[in-house]
Amino acid sequence: MQKRVNNIIKEIAAEYNLSVEVVKAITDSQFECARENTKKGEADLPATFLNVRFKHLGLLVAKPSKIKKITDGRNSRISPDTDISPTG
């Protein structure tokens, strides 16, 4: 898959007379922006997570119920009374 993506980036770079690095930066920037906005969310406050719309992929929605399940799952795996010794 990555090889196919790299070929597409090279084709776009040739078509628009841009360097491959510039085209790659343009395509990667939307995902970096989404990651930065997602990191701003606070686990205890689901309303702080922003929804992100990708023009050709659709809308990524941060549903409060999903965020709660993820947070609860992380907290249950690493609780203070969990025995992490090798003998169990």
pTM, two decimal places? 0.46
SS3 labels along 61-72: CCCHHHHHHHHH
Q: Which two tokens stand for residue 9?
A: 């980036």
In contact, 36 and 52? CB cutoff 8 Å = no
Per-residue confidence at 11, pLDDT binned at 50, 70, 90?
A: very high
Between these two residues, 23 and 58, which has the higher pLDDT value? Answer: 23
Residue 83 confidence (pLDDT) above 60: no
Q: pLDDT tens-digit profile of 25-82?
A: 988 888 888 888 778 877 777 777 778 888 777 887 777 787 778 778 766 765 555 5
